[in-house]
């Protein structure tokens, strides 16, 4: 976690909790490395903070995470940027648009580079960051059915929350 450690040291004093939390959520997780770092990278991409993305990517690569998992994390963040807006709109409208097809390409969800459950977990975390209730529920159902435990889902969302907070703290420097 060398690059993220260096980055977290640049946080202002008012972000001390984030300094501690990023270290804690990444070192005490029940997630295996590909899922842990995939969630962290997808979250960093979702925040739009290039410095945070670069540090997270470097640490994920240093941890030996396969390129396919990291590519899926980036793809999940990009795809959820679209889906979360669209499905949040449909949810806001109380079903009055549910009869219309989305007609948005989402092939990557069905054919990820790594595996479907991990891609869905990355999508869940980004959907939580983006505040899309429908997407969070949909992805959570798939990952639970795919064998991810509640504790692992919880850890994944905690990672997303802290990475999102970290991005905000970094903008305060």
Q: Would you mind telling me the total number of residues written for the chain in this entry? A: 173
- Work out the angle at residue 128's Cα, subtended by the Cα atoms of residues 155 and 132, and round it to the nearest 5 degrees: 155
Dist CA 130 CA 119 (whole Å): 16
Q: What is the pLDDT of residues 69-95, one digit of tens each?
A: 999 999 999 999 999 999 999 999 999
Annotation says 39 is catalytic: no
- Band (38; pLDDT cuts 50, 70, 90): very high
Which of the following is catalytic: 132, 143, 164, 170?
A: 132
Dist CA 33 CA 39 (whole Å): 10
Which pLDDT belongs to residue 90? 96
Task: Share the mean pLDDT of the chain.
Answer: 97
**Mean pLDDT (whole number) for 95-100:** 96
Dist CA 116 CA 139 (whole Å): 11
Torsion (CA) 146, 149, 76, 43 in degrees, nearest 10: -170
Which pLDDT belongs to residue 98? 95
Residue 149 Cα to chain centre, angstroms: 17
Report whether 87 contacts 134 (CB < 8 A).
yes
Which pLDDT belongs to residue 19? 94
**Mean pLDDT (whole number) for 103-108:** 96
Q: What is the pLDDT of residues 114-152, one digit of tens each?
A: 999 999 999 999 999 999 999 999 999 999 999 999 999
- Band (32; pLDDT cuts 50, 70, 90): very high
Which of the following is catalytic: 31, 75, 135, 159?
A: 135
Which pLDDT belongs to residue 6? 97
Dist CA 159 CA 41 (whole Å): 10
- Band (105; pLDDT cuts 50, 70, 90): very high
H/E segment holding residue 55 = helix 50-62
Which pLDDT belongs to residue 146? 98
Which pTM was predicted?
Answer: 0.97
Annotation says 135 is catalytic: yes
Tokens of 44: 């960093």
Nearest to 8 by CA among 48, 46, 45, 59: 59
Which pLDDT belongs to residue 24? 96
Which pLDDT belongs to residue 73? 98
């Amino acid at each position: 976690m060398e690059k993220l450690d260096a980055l977290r040291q640049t946080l202002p004093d008012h972000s001390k909790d984030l300094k501690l939390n990023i270290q804690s959520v990444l070192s005490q997780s029940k997630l295996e490395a590909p899922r842990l770092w995939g969630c962290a990278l997808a979250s960093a991409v979702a925040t739009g903070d290039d410095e945070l993305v670069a540090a997270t990517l470097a640490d994920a690569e240093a941890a030996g995470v396969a390129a396919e998992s990291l590519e899926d994390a980036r793809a999940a963040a990009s795809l959820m940027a679209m889906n979360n807006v669209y499905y949040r709109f449909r949810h806001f409208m109380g079903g009055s648009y549910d009869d219309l097809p989305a007609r948005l390409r989402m092939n990557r969800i069905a054919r990820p580079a790594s595996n479907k459950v991990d891609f869905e977990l990355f999508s869940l975390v980004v959907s939580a960051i983006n505040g899309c209730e429908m997407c969070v529920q949909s992805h959570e159902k798939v990952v639970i059915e795919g064998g991810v435990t509640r504790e692992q889902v919880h850890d994944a969302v905690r990672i997303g929350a802290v990475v999102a907070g970290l991005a905000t703290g970094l903008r305060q420097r």
